[in-house]
Amino acid sequence: MSKPLIVVTGKNGQLGWEIQQLAEAYSEAFEFLFTGRDDLDLSKPETIAPFFKNHQPDYFINCAAYTAVDKAETEQELAFTTNAESVGLIAQQCALVNAKLITISTDYVFDGNGTSPYTIHTATNPVNYYGHSKWMGEQLALNNCSQSIVIRTSWVYSVHGNNFVKTMLRLMNDRPELKVVADQVGSPTYAADLAEAILKIIVSIERGNAHYGVYQYSNTGVISWCDFAGAIGRIAGRETKVLPIASVDYPTPAKRPSYSVMDTSDLVRDYGIELKGWEESLGKCIKLLG
Protein backbone atom coordinates (compact mmCIF):
# COMPACT_ATOMS: atom_id res chain seq x y z
CA MET A 1 0.00 0.00 0.00
CA SER A 2 1.32 3.45 -0.84
CA LYS A 3 2.10 5.87 1.95
CA PRO A 4 0.03 9.03 2.48
CA LEU A 5 1.54 11.96 0.59
CA ILE A 6 2.23 15.18 2.49
CA VAL A 7 2.79 18.24 0.30
CA VAL A 8 4.52 21.13 2.05
CA THR A 9 4.78 24.64 0.58
CA GLY A 10 7.36 27.25 1.59
CA LYS A 11 10.23 24.76 1.75
CA ASN A 12 12.76 27.59 1.95
CA GLY A 13 10.99 29.45 4.74
CA GLN A 14 11.59 28.93 8.45
CA LEU A 15 8.74 26.52 9.11
CA GLY A 16 8.91 24.65 5.80
CA TRP A 17 12.63 24.13 6.33
CA GLU A 18 12.08 22.80 9.87
CA ILE A 19 9.49 20.32 8.58
CA GLN A 20 12.06 19.15 6.03
CA GLN A 21 14.52 18.48 8.87
CA LEU A 22 11.95 16.16 10.48
CA ALA A 23 10.79 14.42 7.31
CA GLU A 24 13.38 11.65 7.51
CA ALA A 25 12.10 10.60 10.95
CA TYR A 26 8.57 10.28 9.50
CA SER A 27 9.58 8.73 6.18
CA GLU A 28 8.44 5.19 7.05
CA ALA A 29 4.88 6.41 7.44
CA PHE A 30 4.66 9.24 4.91
CA GLU A 31 5.89 10.41 1.59
CA PHE A 32 6.83 14.09 1.42
CA LEU A 33 6.88 16.57 -1.43
CA PHE A 34 8.44 19.90 -0.49
CA THR A 35 7.69 22.80 -2.80
CA GLY A 36 9.20 26.24 -3.24
CA ARG A 37 8.10 29.23 -5.26
CA ASP A 38 9.40 27.58 -8.46
CA ASP A 39 7.15 24.55 -8.00
CA LEU A 40 4.01 26.33 -6.86
CA ASP A 41 3.80 30.12 -6.89
CA LEU A 42 0.98 31.37 -4.69
CA SER A 43 1.09 34.77 -6.39
CA LYS A 44 -0.18 32.92 -9.50
CA PRO A 45 -3.49 31.41 -8.42
CA GLU A 46 -4.03 29.96 -11.91
CA THR A 47 -1.20 27.47 -11.27
CA ILE A 48 -2.90 25.82 -8.29
CA ALA A 49 -5.43 23.58 -10.09
CA PRO A 50 -2.75 22.30 -12.54
CA PHE A 51 -0.48 21.50 -9.56
CA PHE A 52 -3.22 19.31 -8.06
CA LYS A 53 -3.65 17.57 -11.44
CA ASN A 54 -0.06 16.37 -11.09
CA HIS A 55 -0.03 15.71 -7.34
CA GLN A 56 -2.86 14.35 -5.21
CA PRO A 57 -1.84 14.92 -1.61
CA ASP A 58 -3.43 13.29 1.40
CA TYR A 59 -2.21 16.22 3.50
CA PHE A 60 -1.32 19.71 2.34
CA ILE A 61 0.72 21.84 4.77
CA ASN A 62 0.77 25.45 3.63
CA CYS A 63 3.81 27.18 5.13
CA ALA A 64 4.26 29.61 2.23
CA ALA A 65 3.08 33.14 2.81
CA TYR A 66 3.72 36.75 1.99
CA THR A 67 5.38 37.58 5.32
CA ALA A 68 6.83 41.07 4.71
CA VAL A 69 4.59 42.77 7.27
CA ASP A 70 5.62 46.37 6.53
CA LYS A 71 5.77 45.97 2.73
CA ALA A 72 2.29 44.43 2.76
CA GLU A 73 0.90 47.89 3.52
CA THR A 74 1.87 48.98 0.00
CA GLU A 75 1.78 45.58 -1.76
CA GLN A 76 -1.72 44.74 -0.68
CA GLU A 77 -2.73 42.98 -3.88
CA LEU A 78 0.25 40.61 -3.78
CA ALA A 79 -0.30 39.93 -0.06
CA PHE A 80 -3.98 39.21 -0.69
CA THR A 81 -3.33 36.89 -3.62
CA THR A 82 -0.66 34.94 -1.75
CA ASN A 83 -2.18 34.83 1.73
CA ALA A 84 -5.88 34.67 0.93
CA GLU A 85 -6.99 34.00 -2.64
CA SER A 86 -4.51 31.18 -3.24
CA VAL A 87 -5.21 29.62 0.15
CA GLY A 88 -8.89 29.49 -0.78
CA LEU A 89 -8.07 27.79 -4.09
CA ILE A 90 -5.77 25.31 -2.35
CA ALA A 91 -8.62 24.54 0.05
CA GLN A 92 -10.99 23.97 -2.88
CA GLN A 93 -8.52 21.57 -4.48
CA CYS A 94 -7.95 19.78 -1.16
CA ALA A 95 -11.70 19.28 -0.85
CA LEU A 96 -11.83 17.83 -4.38
CA VAL A 97 -9.11 15.24 -3.68
CA ASN A 98 -10.22 14.63 -0.06
CA ALA A 99 -6.96 15.99 1.32
CA LYS A 100 -6.60 17.51 4.77
CA LEU A 101 -5.33 21.08 4.73
CA ILE A 102 -3.14 22.58 7.44
CA THR A 103 -2.50 26.25 6.81
CA ILE A 104 -0.60 28.62 9.06
CA SER A 105 -1.94 31.94 10.27
CA THR A 106 -0.86 34.59 12.71
CA ASP A 107 -1.45 36.35 16.03
CA TYR A 108 -1.74 39.51 13.88
CA VAL A 109 -5.40 38.64 13.24
CA PHE A 110 -5.97 40.21 16.69
CA ASP A 111 -5.80 43.94 17.37
CA GLY A 112 -3.55 43.64 20.41
CA ASN A 113 -5.90 45.42 22.80
CA GLY A 114 -6.50 42.33 24.95
CA THR A 115 -5.12 41.76 28.41
CA SER A 116 -5.55 37.99 28.65
CA PRO A 117 -4.69 35.25 26.10
CA TYR A 118 -6.88 35.31 22.98
CA THR A 119 -8.94 32.17 22.46
CA ILE A 120 -10.23 31.00 19.09
CA HIS A 121 -13.53 32.69 20.08
CA THR A 122 -11.96 36.12 20.65
CA ALA A 123 -13.07 38.58 17.97
CA THR A 124 -10.44 39.17 15.30
CA ASN A 125 -9.61 42.70 14.23
CA PRO A 126 -6.30 42.96 12.37
CA VAL A 127 -4.48 46.29 12.65
CA ASN A 128 -2.29 45.86 9.57
CA TYR A 129 -2.80 44.57 6.02
CA TYR A 130 -0.66 41.45 6.49
CA GLY A 131 -2.93 40.44 9.40
CA HIS A 132 -5.99 41.23 7.31
CA SER A 133 -4.77 39.10 4.38
CA LYS A 134 -4.00 36.19 6.73
CA TRP A 135 -7.44 36.50 8.33
CA MET A 136 -9.03 36.35 4.86
CA GLY A 137 -6.92 33.26 4.17
CA GLU A 138 -8.26 31.62 7.34
CA GLN A 139 -11.85 32.20 6.25
CA LEU A 140 -11.25 30.97 2.72
CA ALA A 141 -9.54 27.81 3.98
CA LEU A 142 -12.32 26.99 6.45
CA ASN A 143 -15.12 27.81 4.00
CA ASN A 144 -13.72 25.80 1.10
CA CYS A 145 -12.48 22.66 2.82
CA SER A 146 -14.23 21.04 5.76
CA GLN A 147 -11.03 19.18 6.61
CA SER A 148 -9.04 22.38 7.23
CA ILE A 149 -6.90 23.14 10.24
CA VAL A 150 -5.77 26.74 10.63
CA ILE A 151 -2.88 27.11 13.06
CA ARG A 152 -2.20 30.63 14.27
CA THR A 153 1.31 31.17 15.52
CA SER A 154 3.41 34.10 16.71
CA TRP A 155 6.97 35.48 16.86
CA VAL A 156 8.47 32.63 14.83
CA TYR A 157 12.24 32.00 14.74
CA SER A 158 14.51 29.21 13.56
CA VAL A 159 18.17 28.55 12.82
CA HIS A 160 17.16 28.96 9.18
CA GLY A 161 15.93 32.18 7.57
CA ASN A 162 15.50 35.69 8.84
CA ASN A 163 14.13 36.32 12.28
CA PHE A 164 14.43 38.42 15.43
CA VAL A 165 16.79 36.01 17.22
CA LYS A 166 19.32 36.01 14.38
CA THR A 167 19.01 39.77 13.90
CA MET A 168 19.68 40.41 17.60
CA LEU A 169 22.71 38.07 17.60
CA ARG A 170 24.11 39.81 14.52
CA LEU A 171 23.62 43.29 15.98
CA MET A 172 25.13 42.17 19.28
CA ASN A 173 28.34 41.30 17.45
CA ASP A 174 29.35 44.93 17.18
CA ARG A 175 27.01 47.07 19.27
CA PRO A 176 27.56 47.76 22.95
CA GLU A 177 23.94 48.80 23.33
CA LEU A 178 20.61 48.01 21.63
CA LYS A 179 17.22 49.69 22.01
CA VAL A 180 14.25 47.34 21.70
CA VAL A 181 10.52 47.94 22.12
CA ALA A 182 9.25 46.99 25.54
CA ASP A 183 5.53 47.71 25.18
CA GLN A 184 4.72 44.80 22.84
CA VAL A 185 4.36 41.43 24.52
CA GLY A 186 3.79 37.99 23.07
CA SER A 187 4.94 34.39 23.01
CA PRO A 188 7.86 33.35 20.83
CA THR A 189 7.62 30.19 18.71
CA TYR A 190 10.58 28.03 17.78
CA ALA A 191 9.68 26.83 14.27
CA ALA A 192 11.17 23.39 15.02
CA ASP A 193 8.61 22.92 17.82
CA LEU A 194 5.73 23.97 15.57
CA ALA A 195 6.99 21.65 12.80
CA GLU A 196 6.95 18.74 15.24
CA ALA A 197 3.47 19.66 16.46
CA ILE A 198 2.14 19.71 12.88
CA LEU A 199 3.53 16.26 12.10
CA LYS A 200 2.10 14.92 15.39
CA ILE A 201 -1.31 16.29 14.38
CA ILE A 202 -1.06 14.39 11.10
CA VAL A 203 -0.06 11.18 12.87
CA SER A 204 -3.01 11.65 15.20
CA ILE A 205 -5.41 12.13 12.26
CA GLU A 206 -4.00 8.97 10.63
CA ARG A 207 -4.86 7.13 13.85
CA GLY A 208 -8.46 8.32 13.63
CA ASN A 209 -8.29 11.30 16.00
CA ALA A 210 -9.23 14.21 13.72
CA HIS A 211 -10.41 17.68 14.69
CA TYR A 212 -10.68 20.56 12.27
CA GLY A 213 -10.99 24.34 12.62
CA VAL A 214 -8.83 27.03 14.19
CA TYR A 215 -5.97 26.22 16.57
CA GLN A 216 -3.22 28.37 18.10
CA TYR A 217 0.38 27.42 18.79
CA SER A 218 3.34 29.14 20.42
CA ASN A 219 5.87 28.27 23.04
CA THR A 220 4.61 28.91 26.56
CA GLY A 221 5.39 32.07 28.51
CA VAL A 222 4.89 35.75 27.85
CA ILE A 223 7.64 38.26 27.21
CA SER A 224 8.27 41.66 25.63
CA TRP A 225 10.54 42.04 22.61
CA CYS A 226 12.97 43.93 24.84
CA ASP A 227 13.17 41.19 27.47
CA PHE A 228 13.35 38.58 24.71
CA ALA A 229 16.35 40.40 23.24
CA GLY A 230 17.89 40.49 26.72
CA ALA A 231 17.38 36.72 27.08
CA ILE A 232 18.94 36.10 23.65
CA GLY A 233 22.03 38.05 24.71
CA ARG A 234 22.24 36.34 28.09
CA ILE A 235 21.86 32.80 26.69
CA ALA A 236 24.39 33.52 23.93
CA GLY A 237 26.81 35.04 26.44
CA ARG A 238 26.84 38.53 24.87
CA GLU A 239 27.75 41.70 26.76
CA THR A 240 25.44 44.04 24.81
CA LYS A 241 23.13 46.12 26.99
CA VAL A 242 19.48 45.98 25.91
CA LEU A 243 17.54 49.15 26.67
CA PRO A 244 13.73 49.48 26.56
CA ILE A 245 12.01 51.89 24.19
CA ALA A 246 8.35 52.52 23.40
CA SER A 247 6.75 51.51 20.07
CA VAL A 248 6.17 55.21 19.30
CA ASP A 249 9.95 55.65 19.28
CA TYR A 250 10.33 52.87 16.69
CA PRO A 251 7.79 53.76 14.01
CA THR A 252 7.08 51.15 11.31
CA PRO A 253 4.80 51.34 8.24
CA ALA A 254 2.58 48.58 9.67
CA LYS A 255 1.13 48.88 13.17
CA ARG A 256 1.87 45.96 15.51
CA PRO A 257 -0.49 44.60 18.15
CA SER A 258 0.75 45.41 21.65
CA TYR A 259 -0.65 42.32 23.40
CA SER A 260 -0.22 39.22 21.25
CA VAL A 261 -0.63 36.25 23.56
CA MET A 262 -2.78 33.33 22.38
CA ASP A 263 -4.45 30.56 24.34
CA THR A 264 -2.96 27.34 23.00
CA SER A 265 -4.85 24.89 25.20
CA ASP A 266 -7.10 23.52 22.41
CA LEU A 267 -4.14 21.80 20.74
CA VAL A 268 -3.20 20.16 24.01
CA ARG A 269 -6.78 19.00 24.60
CA ASP A 270 -7.61 17.76 21.06
CA TYR A 271 -4.24 16.52 19.84
CA GLY A 272 -2.22 15.97 23.02
CA ILE A 273 0.45 18.38 21.79
CA GLU A 274 3.09 19.06 24.42
CA LEU A 275 3.95 22.74 24.66
CA LYS A 276 7.50 23.81 25.37
CA GLY A 277 8.62 26.88 27.31
CA TRP A 278 10.07 29.71 25.23
CA GLU A 279 13.33 29.80 27.18
CA GLU A 280 14.13 26.11 26.75
CA SER A 281 13.44 26.30 23.01
CA LEU A 282 15.39 29.54 22.58
CA GLY A 283 18.33 27.83 24.27
CA LYS A 284 18.17 24.93 21.79
CA CYS A 285 18.09 27.27 18.81
CA ILE A 286 20.98 29.41 20.05
CA LYS A 287 23.02 26.27 20.73
CA LEU A 288 22.44 25.12 17.14
CA LEU A 289 23.41 28.55 15.84
CA GLY A 290 26.67 28.13 17.72
Question: 109: exposed, middle or buried (C-beta count within 10 Å: 0-12, 13-18, 19+)?
Answer: buried
CB of 215 to ligand NAP, least distance (A): 13
DSSP label of 26: G
85 lies in the site for ligand NAP, by CB under 6 A? no
CA–CA dist 26, 289 (Å, integer): 24
CA–CA dist 180, 228 (Å, integer): 9
CB of 146 to ligand NAP, least distance (A): 21
CA–CA dist 270, 129 (Å, integer): 31
45 lies in the site for ligand NAP, by CB under 6 A? no
Binder among 7, 59, 80, 82 for ligand NAP (CB under 6 A): 82
60 lies in the site for ligand NAP, by CB under 6 A? no
Binding residues for ligand NAP restricted to 144-173, rule: CB under 6 A: 153-156, 161
**Which pairs with CB-CB distance under 8 Å and at least 24 residues apart come from 70-78?**
70/252, 70/253, 70/254, 71/253, 72/128, 72/129, 72/130, 72/133, 72/254, 73/128, 73/129, 73/253, 73/254, 74/253, 76/129, 76/133, 78/43
43 lies in the site for ligand NAP, by CB under 6 A? yes
Q: Where are the beta strands (DSSP E) in 137-255?
A: 148-153, 156-157, 177-181, 185-186, 189-190, 213-217, 223-224, 241-245
Nearer to ligand NAP, 67 or 184 (CB): 67
CB of 43 to ligand NAP, least distance (A): 4
12 lies in the site for ligand NAP, by CB under 6 A? yes
The one catalytic residue among 59, 66, 118, 130: 130
CA–CA dist 98, 256 (Å, integer): 37
67 lies in the site for ligand NAP, by CB under 6 A? yes
Nearer to ligand NAP, 28 or 46 (CB): 46
CA–CA dist 37, 26 (Å, integer): 24
What are the backbone angles phi and psi of residue 190, rounded to the nearest 5°? Answer: -80, 120
Nearer to ligand NAP, 213 or 241 (CB): 213
Binder among 37, 71, 179, 284 for ligand NAP (CB under 6 A): 37
**Count of residues interacting with ligand NAP (CB under 6 A):** 26
Question: 1: exposed, middle or buried (C-beta count within 10 Å: 0-12, 13-18, 19+)?
Answer: exposed
Print burial letters for 142-174: b (CB count within 10 Å at least 16), e (below 16): bebbebbbbbbbbbbbbbbbebbbbebbeebee
64 lies in the site for ligand NAP, by CB under 6 A? yes
Determine the interface stretch with ligand NAP among 10-18, 87-95, 112-120, 205-213 (rule: CB under 6 A): 10-18
CB of 149 to ligand NAP, least distance (A): 13
111 lies in the site for ligand NAP, by CB under 6 A? no
Determine the interface stretch with ligand NAP among 13-21, 140-148, 200-208, 277-285 (rule: CB under 6 A): 13-21
> Does residue 212 have an active-site annotation?
no
CB of 45 to ligand NAP, least distance (A): 10
10 lies in the site for ligand NAP, by CB under 6 A? yes
The residues assigned a catalytic role are 130
Residues making contact with ligand NAP (CB under 6 A): 9-10, 12-16, 36-37, 41-43, 63-67, 82, 104, 106, 134, 153-156, 161
